[in-house]
Structure 1
């Protein structure tokens, strides 16, 4: 089976071809430089950029792989959650292509696709516990099959990735600042008492990072010399200030990672049958989080399933991978498939159910 994946949920435009679980090729256009001018993603600009580059990316992918449109078996597209205008661009392109070449359509839950992304690199043992950590979501799932995800815990306010972005913005780090925080943190030991581990003194599996974000803002307000000069990089700081900033970043990094550890270990008690721990999403590229989850999985006798860093960020390869798995199980959608913006539950509204 040859599946085309289309991703336009936020600020990355991507198309990919996956055949029988193997990635044939991917084309991606990042909008980071465009949105960096505004310190974050501007939805209207994101939609216009998707519209501008998507057809060209598709043509380039076919040329690169030598695949003809008529050879595509199914078309998988991110249908949500995400920015509504951005999702509609990808969805409209997918529907038009489906009509043109006669390939069936598969709407993919963007969050589930993240958790299945590692399936392009290795087998994923089920049942598993899934931890999804991205800019907009921090969720845990009991995952029993490619199409069987049961939500255990969710973001109540700021997701972990959003906390990284807002902390970086207050420090005046260039957008996106999460990787810069991780890079700076690698050169320092964290102060475990500097920032709180938010919303852990309870038995809930839900996440809240707004308090941690506020603590960082208050710390920088009290130590304004830590904020970088406008349009400057960390190298512009005096060595002693940069060393102090590195401790702040390491302490913030540790607070996020340890909060996720506590909640994930708590979730594991709800899924005692789990054979593996899947960690995915943009923040799963964070070095401290990867090390923390490796220790947690080893201590609990679980396989750790971590996608390569290139598969952690938004991409079409994961959409094609998830779409092919759904199509093989007989799950498709009609042309009435709707986009689902962030904040709404993505429905299980497949047609032509297989097994």
Structure 2
């Protein structure tokens, strides 16, 4: 089965072809430089950029792979959650393509696709405990199959990735700044008493990182020498006097640890509540964070459970995860009609597939 994946949920425009669970080709256009000027994603600009580049990426993908559009068995598209205007661009394009090719249409839950994405590289073993850590969501799931996800814990306010980017902005790093915090804190001993671990003193499996973000903001306000004089990067920090450089690195490592250990506590709690699982799947943009990966590896080993981590290229939004997840749904005989809705962030993506054989 050949599945075309279309991803336009936020600020990445991506298309990919996956045949029988293996990547054939992909194209991606990022909008980071466009939104960096504003310190975050501007929804209207994101939608216009998707509209501009999506048809171009699709043509380039078909040309580069040498595949004729008539060979496509299913058009898979991220239907949400995400920015509504951005999603509508992808969903509209997918519907038009499905009609013109006379092929099946499948709407894909963007969050589930992240957690299934490692299946492009390795076997997924169910039941699994899934941890999705991204800019907009920090969720845990019990996953019994590629179509059976039970939400255990969710983001109440700031997601982990959002907290990373906001703290980076306070330090005067460009958007998206989470990777700078990871790089600066790598190999540095964290001060585990410097910042709190957010929302861990209740039995809830939900996540809240607003308190941690506020604690870091207050600390930075009290120590203005932490803020870069001009918007900078790793190289600009490396040129600083050693004392100031070490202080910034310690703050980054300590914040990193507070997030990672909070995730560990919540995942460990979820493992106790959800029953026996065969693996832990960690996915989303923050799954690329080195400390998060290390902490999750240690947790999995202590529990004698397999840890499934996607390659770094699969952590961020991409078309291959949409193509893969859509192919799995279509392979089980599911599809959507042209009444497929785009679902913005804050609404639950409905399980409204219908049987569509042939």
Fold match, TM over 0.5? yes
What SS does the corresponding residue of 2:354 show, helix, strand or coil? coil
What SS does the corresponding residue of 1:90 show, helix, strand or coil? helix
Aligned partner of 2:25 in structure 1 is: 25
Alpha-carbon separation, structure 2, partners of 1:8 and 1:270: 35
- 1:129, CA displacement in angstroms? 0.4
Map residues 281-292 of structure 1 onto 2, 5 A cutoff.
281-292=284-295
Map residues 184-223 of structure 1 onto 2, 5 A cutoff.
184-223=184-223
- 1:353, CA displacement in angstroms? 6.4
Alpha-carbon separation, structure 1, partners of 2:66 and 2:171: 46
What SS does the corresponding residue of 1:269 show, helix, strand or coil? helix
What SS does the corresponding residue of 1:229 show, helix, strand or coil? coil
Alpha-carbon separation, structure 2, partners of 1:121 and 1:186: 26
What CA RMSD, in Å, does the superposition of the two structures yield over aligned residues? 0.9
Map residues 304-315 of structure 1 onto 2, 5 A cutoff.
304-315=307-318
Normalising by structure 2, we get a TM-score of 0.98
Map residues 189-268 of structure 1 onto 2, 5 A cutoff.
189-233=189-233, 234-268=237-271
Aligned partner of 2:336 in structure 1 is: 333
Aligned partner of 1:318 in structure 2 is: 321
Count residues with an aligned counterpart: 354
Alpha-carbon separation, structure 1, partners of 2:27 and 2:103: 20
Alpha-carbon separation, structure 2, partners of 1:300 and 1:353: 41
Alpha-carbon separation, structure 1, partners of 2:240 and 2:169: 16
Alpha-carbon separation, structure 1, partners of 2:232 and 2:202: 41
- 1:127, CA displacement in angstroms? 0.4
Aligned partner of 2:11 in structure 1 is: 11
- 1:127-186: CA deviation from partner (whole Å, max 9, x where unpaired): 000000000000000000000000000001100001001100111111110000000001
- 1:189, CA displacement in angstroms? 0.6
| Most deviating of 231-240 and 87-96 | 231-240
The 8 Å contact of residues 3 and 324 in structure 1, kept in 2 or not, is answered as yes
Aligned partner of 1:294 in structure 2 is: 297
Q: Which stretches of structure 1, 4 residues or more, deviate above 4 A after TM superposition?
A: none
The 8 Å contact of residues 187 and 246 in structure 1, kept in 2 or not, is answered as no
What SS does the corresponding residue of 2:77 show, helix, strand or coil? strand
Aligned partner of 1:346 in structure 2 is: 349
Pair 1:165 & 2:165 matched: yes
Alpha-carbon separation, structure 1, partners of 2:187 and 2:278: 34
Normalising by structure 1, we get a TM-score of 0.98
Alpha-carbon separation, structure 1, partners of 2:356 and 2:198: 41
